[in-house]
Amino acid sequence: MENHMADKDPQEITIPSGSRYSGQMLELFLPSDQIQTKVKEIAALLSERYQNQCPILIGVLNGSFMFMADLVRYLTIDFEVDFIKIASYGHETSSSGTVRLLKDISADITGRDVVIVEDIVDTGLTVKFLRSRMAEATPTSVTFVTLLLKAEVANLDFPIDYVGFNIPNRFVVGYGLDVDQKFRGLRSLYAFKEI
């Protein structure tokens, strides 16, 4: 597979052979500068909200690692970081309808301000699961941040506190998000080209 990092933000990418999606086209969906501007905005809001506090940011693996890495570099407050790993998809581009905990948090979140850092909310199953998992450990507060929200699809009975972008129901890759575990290193977000 080619190294797409070398070819910075091309308009289109053809998925190479060796993938079940080979030959399909990805088109630029959200360029990296727009993503960075939004991540800075969210970091500023969190820094204001948690001024003189030390929240624990919990990234949802794998997809959120890049968003988390950028977000924390823009924060101006004290914070801690932990990760949780959830599987909701298998290898498909649509939700399997089930959620499994693959790796739990290591930190004790009792009495802590928790900030869940998600890359994307699709059906909402994952965040619902996380919300009940967090409640078991009696944190002081739980705040949800997501870079992307598929608002037409998400079936939520609580609001997501900070949403970077509301996006249509398209499968997106890059900036930490994968298709078949690939393309996570792209700086921009891409969507499958509709034909």
List residues binding ligand IMP (CB under 6 A).
60, 63, 88-89, 95, 119-126, 171-173, 177
Rg (CA), the chain: 17
Structure token pair of residue 92: 């498909």
Considering the complex, state which of residue 50 and residue 84 has its C-beta at the smaller distance from ligand IMP: 84
Nearer residue to ligand IMP within complex by CB, 114 or 160: 160
Residue of 183, 176, 178, 179 lying closest to 59 (CA atoms): 176
Active site residues per annotation:
122
Residue 163 forms beta bridges with which residues? 146
- Residue 79: DSSP 8-state: -
Interatomic CA distance for residues 146 and 171, integer angstroms: 16
The residue type at 123:
T
**Choice between 125 and 186, CB closer to ligand IMP:** 125
Tell me how crowded residue 37 is: count the other CB atoms within 10 A of its CB.
Answer: 10
Written in H, E and C, the secondary structure of 135-149 is HCCCCCEEEEEEEEE
User: Whose structure tokens read 């079940």?
Assistant: 20
CB nearer ligand IMP, residue 55 or residue 63: 63
Amino acid (1-letter code) at residue 63: G
- Positive or negative torsion for Cα 103, 62, 123, 45: positive
